Amino acid sequence: ELREQEERGELLQPLGFVSLVLCSVLMYFKVSLMDPGFVKPEEEVKAEEAEGRGLVVPQVPGDIKLRRCGYCLVKQPLRARHCQLCQHCVRRYDHHCPWLENCVGERNHPLFIGYLSVQLVVLLWGGHVAWSGLYFEQSWEWLQHNIFLVLSFLLIVIFTIVVLLLLVSHLYLISCNTTTWEFMSHHRISYLRHSELENPFDQGIILNLWRFFC
């Protein structure tokens, strides 16, 4: 029977779905376990050595001075922030994700977007499968036999809405070349509060997306 189903192509869809789920799980562990861009003390020494040799070092625009973190005592690069939960300063800090138990920062932010995209496809596919298995009847007996499928479908719908909103909001912020932390705390961040421009990092949607993903 399996060979006949394979010849009819009936096994391709479940195999594809399982492959997507596996890819989603692997991406989850990759994003949650990888270094999001922690600022290391030795990087400050290397930067000072490079400056002493006359090499090009990125400068902070305007009169904004790089400040030293009061917790881990490293000199924070521009757009970095100290995470109380991770106990590290993170480059291009976006937010600390409780689902991942890790920060989303310079190094894992693009992979985080990829993870959300794959997760959204898995949820939409799972929702379609759950919906196709439902046939509605107004009877208590029908509800008893289908309660698990109904609850699964409702749960999938809720998670789909959450993931979709999260993905859309992140793509919007990326297109503006800003982070969740900068967007939510614009008035508290010195390099934004004292800037003449509302967003000094915005270089246009196309270039912002290109620099982020490529």
Rounded to the nearest 10°, the torsion over CA 76, 79, 84, 89 is -40
- Report pLDDT for 44: 57
Measured CA to CA, the distance from residue 9 to residue 5 in angstroms comes to 6
- Name the 3-class secondary structure at 118: helix
Q: What is the pLDDT of residue 197?
A: 84
| AA identity, residue 78 | L
pLDDT at 101 over 70: yes
What is the CB neighbour count within 10 angstroms for residue 41? 10
Active-site entry in 23, 69, 86, 97: 97
Judged against a pLDDT cut of 70, whether residue 95 lies above it is answered with yes
pLDDT at position 30 = 96
Q: How far apart are CA 93 and CA 173, in angstroms?
A: 13
Residues in CB range of 105: below 8 A, 6 or more apart: 36, 37, 38, 90, 91, 92, 93, 94
| Pairing relationship of beta strands 81-83 and 95-97 according to DSSP bridges | unpaired
97 labelled catalytic: yes
Label residue 129 by pLDDT band (50, 70, 90).
Answer: confident
Q: Is the dihedral of CA 56, 173, 126, 28 positive or negative?
A: positive
Instruction: Note the pLDDT of residue 204.
Output: 94
Per-residue pLDDT reduced to its tens digit, 28-46: 999 999 999 999 886 654 5
Tokens standing for 14? Answer: 């479940």
Helix residue ranges, H only, 83-139: 109-132
Please tell me the predicted confidence (pLDDT) of residue 40: 86
Kindly calculate the radius of gyration of the chain based on its CA atoms and give it in whole angstroms.
23
pLDDT digits (tens, 9 = 90+) for 142-195: 667 778 888 888 999 999 999 999 999 999 999 999 999 999 998 888 888 888
Q: What's the CA gap between 72 and 80, in Å, rounded?
A: 13
pLDDT in tens, 47-67: 554 444 444 444 445 555 677
The per-residue pLDDT for 32 is 95
204 vs 55 pLDDT, higher one? 204
What's residue 60's pLDDT? 47
Per-residue pLDDT averaged across 89-99, rounded? 95
pLDDT-based confidence at residue 119 (cuts at 50, 70, 90): very high
CA 63, distance to chain mean position in Å, is 32
Nearest to 175 by CA among 204, 134, 214: 204
Point out which residues pair with 82 in neighbouring strands.
Answer: 89
How much is the pTM?
0.82
